[in-house]
Structure 1
């Protein structure tokens, strides 16, 4: 920690500098410890344009929604994109605790590797809750056993497959998971000053909050920067990007029937209301009172559910 000088000491130092009494000892005192210096990406050295960041933000917001939907079938799971920013790889690497779960993977046709990083605690929680694996709670050990690595790869594979689905709205990709690492210092394929986009996610499983990160190095996506476009209309992208987290009222309607005031007054427990539809499990799905989808009623995981079978044309 740097020593704090008093005002009298500062005055004496300035006087000595003016008199030329301070001798440069090779710059060791001025430079300090390089490892203590936090490097920032200056605006004129940014590799990713604002449009590139917006597209990647759109992809990873979609990704968070896909994971939440897939993992919420049995439990209360919430995933959200906490932040997305361009930083130096060194900053990301230095922020990773040890041990960690770091998976190197590819998204073909992107070149090179991307990184998926999270804590061993999240792997243990998911393994126990979702995969039925009897995993020890001892996550402080620096080296994983082969069984630990296999379980980690199995879990991350599920996460990366969902990432493919999110990318599909921009670029068709196929993932390949290479290997898992626990020590960030052993990952040497990136230079310290390489620009990366870091997407950080918050995940809550049964009210237990954890984080995970996806790191996209500039070298892996360089050939596609400026070329990535969301499939569909620009308006659809802007709406999804700006209002993707907005809550909408969705209503499932079996049928509409008309009753006279007298019939309404006579309704009581046990009254059966007959509809005009034949029994086909068909329902209308309304979004903010607008008929957007047709569906079928059924059961999933012992719960009532509705399957969308038809998407109606949306002209407004």
Structure 2
């Protein structure tokens, strides 16, 4: 509804019209209240929702944990990996910030669209190579180009990374990551337009005394097929479903184990005899065992000692009455 003029404003308007003066209808202070106007560049708007970034953070926290455990076993030394940051950045800015030489892998991960880029700094890459060849992670020539042998060795490490990647995404959606190509220069890794918004995941890696980074670049268009799944609700529901599936698998496994047939063997104590005595044995001869009548008989399950018992007879068959249950680490003398 339009504002209603007061009587004084009407009188001022009539006086101005009669005298031929210009009329300023703005109220005092109105110009100041409007504020300044500035242009808005739609290209600078964040394309990744906060919920999507939080979900990516959870996914790659899990990835860092799994990868650290796997590399610790693979390299036979303590490997620490943590998510340093997750931020949105233009692909061109990220690609130009990569220090070469570096291990740059173009990764396809169905059902995600297109490709993503994984960059491993030379310090981390040479630490992998040095440890796998039996040395320590202290290689200092960061500017040295990688040889074909080193690239081949690093491909095996990246294969393990893809396994951990598949597992870390498993609670949200089943993915099939694979490395399409590996380069050492950013000139050959233009996977998308330079202005494409991308999620940049930076992992800080520490091996022995060496520190470096593993960085993953996920273009915005790549997550579109799974954008609806990238939320913490899906993660929570997936976790609940995973727990339910684990319980179902556990019950099924228990049922299968209960029906599994195993071999039980009851044995006396070992008896030592000379080879000459063994060769001279005839039908009807008696063998004196090194087993006292008060000693327990050991019962083996698939070759492992599990019980001690007493021998007897029942229903015209030899039987063993269980007297003791042996623990897993208990030794039999």
TM range (shorter): 0.5 to 0.7
Secondary structure of the structure 2 residue equivalent to 1:225: helix
1:212 Cα shift? 1.1
Q: Within 1, Cα distance between the matches of 2:59 and 2:239?
A: 13
Query: In the alignment, which of 201, 204, 223 is matched to residue 202 of structure 1?
Result: 204
Deviation at 1:110, TM superposition (A): 1.0
Deviation for aligned residue 1:221 = 1.3
Superposition RMSD on alpha carbons, in Å? 3.0
Partner of 1:38: none
Deviation of the 1:168 alpha carbon: 0.6
More displaced, 76-85 or 116-125? 116-125
What corresponds to 1:58 in structure 2? 58
Given that residues 101 and 118 in structure 1 are in contact (C-alpha distance below 8 angstroms), is that contact kept between their aligned partners in structure 2? yes
Q: Which residue number in structure 2 is paired with residue 127 of structure 1? A: 129
Shift of 1:202: 0.7
Instruction: Give the secondary-structure state (helix, strand or coil) at the position aligned to 2:164.
Output: helix
TM-score (norm 1): 0.57
Aligned with 1:161 (options 153, 160, 163): 163
CA contact (8 A) 1:81 1:201 kept: yes
- Alpha-carbon contact 2:64-2:81 (below 8 Å) kept: yes
Instruction: Tell me how far 1:145 sits from its aligned partner.
Output: 3.3
For structure 2, which runs of at least 5 residues remain unmatched after alignment? 1-40, 241-323
- Structure 1 pair 234/191, CA: closer, same or farther in 2 (3 Å)? same
Shift of 1:173: 0.7
SS in 2 for 1:211: strand
Residue 88 (1) aligns with residue 90 (2): yes
Q: Which residue does 2:144 correspond to in 1?
A: 141
State the Cα distance separating 1:98 from its structure 2 match.
1.6
SS of aligned partner of 2:228: coil
TM-score, reference length from structure 2: 0.54
CA contact (8 A) 1:107 1:176 kept: yes
Report if the CA contact (8 A) 1:127-1:155 is conserved: no
| SS state at 1:175 partner | strand
| SS in structure 1 of the partner of residue 174 of structure 2 | coil
* Structure 2 residue 115 is matched with structure 1 residue 113: yes
Moved over 3 A (4+): 41-44, 130-139, 229-237, 277-281
Picking from 233, 236, 243, the partner of 2:236 is 233
After TM superposition, give the deviation of residue 208 of structure 1 in Å.
2.1
Cross-structure match for 1:70? 70
Aligned to 1:46: 46
Q: Compared with structure 1, are the counterparts of its residues 133 and 173 closer, same or farther at alpha carbon in structure 2 (3 Å cutoff)?
A: farther
- Cα drift, residue 147 of structure 1: 2.2
- C-alpha change, 1:42 and 1:211, in structure 2 (3 Å) is farther
- Structure 1 residues 188-241: Cα deviation after superposition (integer angstroms, max 9, x where no partner): 23111001000001111113211110111112112221333565636979xxxx
Give the 3 Å change call, closer, same or farther, for CA 234–174 of structure 1 in structure 2: closer
